[in-house]
Amino acid sequence: MTDVSHTPNDLAAYWMPFTANRQFKDAPRMLVGAKDMHYTSADGRQILDGTAGLWCCNAGHGRREIVEAIQKQAQQMDYAPPFQVGHPAAFELASRLAEIMPGDLNHVFFTNSGSEAVDTALKMALAYHLARGDAGRVKFIGREKGYHGVGFGGISVGGLGNNRKQFGNQLPGVDHMPFFYDQETMAFSPGQPETGAEVADKLENLIALHDASTIAAVIVEPVVGSAGVYVSPKGYLDRLRKICDAHGILLIFDEVITGFGRLGRAFAGNKFNVIADLVTTAKGLNSGTVPMGAVFARDGVHDTIVNGAPDGAIELFHGYTYSAHPLACAAALAAQKVYRDEKLFERAGELESYWQHAALSLKGVAHVVDVRSIGLVAGIELAPRPGKPGQRAFDVFIEAFEKGLLIRTTGDIIALSPPLIISKAEIDQIFAMLEGILKATA
């Protein structure tokens, strides 16, 4: 067995994702262990996890129940083909997940990541309209600043320029709604901003431009995550739902980040009482332990596609080698049991006001121009250094890591999303440490 507990002496072979590779390899930051709320660094320090890994380890790290479930499944059956053959854990997991979804989102298609879930949902939208005899609906509408993974479908409907500019043409027939955020009127709003719902009406302009008969679906994050934590204004998602219904357009919620308790409810759909037609998930599905994603479909979408196909035909010509991988399913079943037994979704809801108060305590601290939070997620926006966008937040990231705190940055925004097992003392520790670092940052 290869010993990887120490810092390797040759870093050249691994091309790291979403990383400044040359910079990292000049001064590596290595993690070699994880338990509950902390990582262990290669030099033996405890690093408080302020990001649940990457928005995903909702139950914390090294959970015995999940580890043992993975080990047991690996011994019993390491892999099962997902095409024309099944295994019990996939069906059990799908049923368990359907129970916690809002409305009639009763059907689950398993993927291996959020990116794959998005591409799957886009395909489902096209297949749905084709099955209805409405084959002209082939366009999609996303939103500025939307992040929907890194597949060509996801970067097409996404609205982040850096995710697109290196890769030439994406999907044709995609347009984007304007973003709803206005710092002048929304800065330091606790939870959902009171104003901004009317921005949803801009969708009508795009429908008029493209004609509703050509549009398959609209896709949005209920709470924008990777672009910097922006919370949808009150009434905004309701308006999108009504507009889509009025024009026969499917509504897709990307809940890869917001799903599985992050907002104090199972999903954002539960939190905001708005039911999308398709919902993409991943990350917290099995607390980040084994790569896995899923798409949830409402009865009407599923039944139209499946019942509209000839007997014996494959209804949706789509899937992945590792769809419903046995180890991923075992991990997910165990994680869902932990969530349920320890009431972690409810715990996140109970901690929301404490978390929000702690986050807003940074108002007035050096360089802080906005704080946005909901559930157990927060974005702290910093004033950029002149001519050096993103550098101030990255310096805070480095200093925080050295002092024993893992955060995430996007541009000049600090993003926080701790495991749902976090204590009030650890919340205090996170924001006190950030306050000290910001006060000392030029």
CATH number, domain containing residue 315:
3.40.640.10
SS3 391: helix
310 and 393 assigned to the same domain: no
Tokens (6 digits) for 419:
């495991």
Tokens (6 digits) for 232:
């949808």
271 and 406 assigned to the same domain: no
pLDDT of 399 strictly over 50: yes
Cβ atoms of 353 and 81 closer than 8 Å: no
Per-residue pLDDT at 6: 59
Domain membership flag for residue 169: yes
* Strands of 38-41's sheet in order across: 31-35, 38-41, 46-49, 405-406
287 and 164 assigned to the same domain: yes
Give the mean pLDDT of 314-331: 98
Per-residue pLDDT at 5: 55
326 and 347 assigned to the same domain: no
Among 278, 313, 341, the domain-final residue is: 341
210 and 329 assigned to the same domain: yes
Chain centroid, CA 349 distance in Å: 18
pLDDT digits over 273-294, tens only?
999 999 999 999 999 999 999 9
pLDDT digits over 339-384, tens only?
999 999 999 999 999 999 999 999 999 999 999 999 999 999 999 9
Check which CATH number belongs to the domain holding 351 and give it: 3.90.1150.10
Per-residue pLDDT at 372: 98
Per-residue pLDDT at 8: 67
253 and 275 assigned to the same domain: yes
- Provide DSSP, 50-119: SSHHHHT-TT-BS-HHHHHHHHHHHHH-S----SS---HHHHHHHHHHHHHSSTT--EEEEESSHHHHHH
Domain membership flag for residue 243: yes
Give the mean pLDDT of 62-75: 98
Residue in the block written with tokens 């749905």: 128
41 and 94 assigned to the same domain: no
Residue in the block written with tokens 């440490």: 433
Give the mean pLDDT of 82-88: 97
pLDDT of 4 strictly over 70: no
Domain membership flag for residue 77: yes
**Number of domains forming the structure of the chain:** 2
256 and 396 assigned to the same domain: no
With 0-12 CB in 10 A as exposed, 13-18 as middle and 19+ as buried, what is 308? middle
101 and 207 assigned to the same domain: yes
211 and 116 assigned to the same domain: yes
Domain membership flag for residue 5: no
pLDDT band for position 169 (cuts 50, 70, 90): confident
Q: Name which of 332, 258, 326, 290 is nearest 113 in CA terms.
A: 290
Give the mean pLDDT of 302-323: 97
213 and 78 assigned to the same domain: yes
Indicate the angle between helix axes 391-403 and 424-440, nearest 10 degrees. 130
Domain membership flag for residue 14: no
Tokens (6 digits) for 335:
């994680």
pLDDT of 27 strictly over 60: yes
Domain membership flag for residue 10: no
* Angle at 270 (CA atoms; ends 266, 273), nearest 5 degrees: 170
pLDDT band for position 1 (cuts 50, 70, 90): very low
pLDDT of 3 strictly over 80: no
Domain membership flag for residue 8: no
Q: Which residue range is the domain that position 131 belongs to?
A: 68-341
pLDDT digits over 114-144, tens only?
999 999 999 999 999 999 999 999 999 999 9
pLDDT digits over 211-250, tens only?
999 999 999 999 999 999 999 999 999 999 999 999 999 9
Per-residue pLDDT at 71: 98
Among 311, 341, 371, the domain-final residue is: 341
pTM: 0.97
**Residue 368 CB: number of other CB atoms within 10 A?**
19
Cβ atoms of 375 and 347 closer than 8 Å: no
Ramachandran quadrant class, 319 (left: phi over 0; alpha: psi -120 to 50; beta: rest): left
pLDDT of 7 strictly over 70: no
pLDDT digits over 187-209, tens only?
999 999 999 999 999 999 999 99
Among 300, 324, 341, the domain-final residue is: 341
Mean pLDDT over each residue of the chain, to the nearest integer: 96
Domain membership flag for residue 75: yes
115 and 241 assigned to the same domain: yes
Q: Name which of 157, 156, 241 is nearest 203 in CA terms.
A: 241
Give the mean pLDDT of 245-273: 98
